[in-house]
Amino acid sequence: MKAAEALRIAGNFNLHDFYPTPFPEDVPTIDLEKISLSRVLNGDQIEAERLFNICTTIGFFYLDMLDHPTGRQLWQSACNLHRFGQQRFSLTSIEQKLQYKPLEGVRVFDRGYLVRNAYQDGRPADLEILNVPQSEFFGTKIEGGEIPTWIPEEDHNIFKQALSCGNTVARALLAVLEKQLQLSPGAITNLHRLNDDSGDFIRILRYSGVPDGSREVPEGFPPHRDAMSVAILFTWVGGLQIPVPDAQVEGFSVKDEDWRWVRPEPGYAIVNLGDAMAIFTNTLLKSSIHRVIKAPGRQRPHDRLSVIVATRPENNSLMKAFESPMIPVCQSNELPVTSLEWGHSVVSGIQRRAVARGARDLDNT
């Protein structure tokens, strides 16, 4: 069985915890293409063309983690982060968890603990999120945002390893795209170096399961595009959805019948590009909309954990389109902002939309 094999490679994780019950067969899914990490890293031209084609159309794909040592390490780190989240979130009191604050002033979702809807005794009822920034391990540390003591020292290495392997994988994908875009070597990859200061981060999300018979329909994660360059997502229970390729997408609105489930595949990451890549290419590369709702069918009562390794451009990168015969020209009189400024403005936009929808805010103030 593939899940068992994938977890054996990851370090003998308990199948029942990670895959409590199979993904249902009777819900509409989307068959994303599978890309081989080993082929990407070995410069395979056919794989490069497939990847470019996906990134200029649907924008989402499965990436095989088990066919290359770096991928296996990343899969292992993601499984360790899953287990870390499962244990630490429940062992730690809400007061303690809330001590890990997002950055002051700006609500950039790259550091701190956030919770939406808690029971009266403080237990999270719905969604809790931990963001740990790259700056704790690589580049310049940001003062005042130290990793809190409820994330013990001995676990720091898992975050560090995930960031480091995630960066290798993201850069391998970006190197392919840069070449296919006929840009000079390094044009995009040099904006994504591990030791440069950037908004890269690890995110662990825990969506509470909905007990059988409960009428509550908690919100999940509303439709959005990622304020990142590359998002590498690991998930073991269903919940993620993207629209069918020919769906009409207006802003953040998609017809209910156009959403499709993305089935979690053991040993694979689900990868998508974020808005930074759309900006760098005048939307030739797609930043695709997605959302998370409650797990389907029998998976519904189970908690769903997911882990994201997020890569963003180095803080001083200018957020404007590159020049290349492949990239459409777009006239704009606006002065480009830096990646750091851009991250802040995108995230405050997300926040404003959430408030406008009347959604309960993810909070830690």
Ligand X SMILES: O=C(O)CCC(=O)C(=O)O
Nearest CA-CA partner of 234 in 168, 166, 308? 308
C-alpha distances (whole Å) from 113 to each of 11, 123, 194, 282 are: 27, 14, 23, 33
Q: Does residue 92 touch ligand X according to CB under 6 A?
A: no
* DSSP classification of residue 198: B
Contacts (CB under 6 A) with ligand X, residues 239-258: 239-240
CB nearer ligand X, residue 40 or residue 114: 114
Q: Which does 306 bind (CB under 5 to 8 A by kind): ligand X, Fe ion, none?
A: ligand X
CB nearer ligand X, residue 50 or residue 263: 263
CB nearer ligand X, residue 222 or residue 336: 222
CB nearer ligand X, residue 86 or residue 190: 86
Least distance from ligand X to the Cβ atom of residue 182, Å:
30
CB nearer Fe ion, residue 67 or residue 258: 258
Q: Are strands 268-273 and 60-64 parallel, antiparallel or unpaired?
A: antiparallel
Q: Does residue 226 touch ligand X according to CB under 6 A?
A: yes
Amino acid at 189: T
Q: Which of 56, 76, 92, 235 binds ligand X (CB under 6 A)?
A: 235
Least distance from ligand X to the Cβ atom of residue 49, Å:
27
Q: Which does 210 bind (CB under 5 to 8 A by kind): Fe ion, ligand X, none?
A: none
Residue nearest to ligand X (CB): 306
Q: Does residue 225 touch ligand X according to CB under 6 A?
A: no
Q: Which does 203 bind (CB under 5 to 8 A by kind): ligand X, Fe ion, none?
A: ligand X
Contacts (CB under 6 A) with ligand X, residues 156-215: 203, 205
Binding mask 284-323 for ligand X (x = CB under 6 A): ------x-x-------------x-x---------------
Q: Which does 235 bind (CB under 5 to 8 A by kind): Fe ion, ligand X, none?
A: ligand X
Residue 295 and residue 195 in contact, taking contact as beta carbons nearer than 8 Å: no
Nearest CA-CA partner of 347 in 39, 122, 145, 105? 105
Backbone angles phi, psi at 110, to 5 degrees: -120, 5
CB nearer ligand X, residue 260 or residue 290: 290
CA distance 103 to 362: 14
Q: Does residue 226 touch Fe ion according to CB under 5 A?
A: yes
| Residue 277 CB burial class (10 angstroms; 0-12, 13-18, ≥19) | buried
Q: Does residue 79 touch ligand X according to CB under 6 A?
A: no
C-alpha distances (whole Å) from 334 to each of 95, 293, 320, 330 are: 44, 37, 10, 11
Residue 306 and residue 220 in contact, taking contact as beta carbons nearer than 8 Å: no
C-alpha distances (whole Å) from 132 to each of 54, 101, 103, 112 are: 29, 11, 11, 7
Q: How many residues bind Fe ion (CB under 5 A)?
A: 1
With tokens 């020209």, the residue in question is 329
Contacts (CB under 6 A) with ligand X, residues 96-115: none
Q: How many residues does the chain have?
A: 365
User: Which is it for the CA torsion 7, 201, 354, 350, positive or negative?
Assistant: negative
Least distance from ligand X to the Cβ atom of residue 148, Å:
20
Binding-site ranges for Fe ion (CB under 5 A): 226
Binding-site ranges for ligand X (CB under 6 A): 203, 205, 221, 226, 233, 235, 239-240, 290, 292, 306, 308
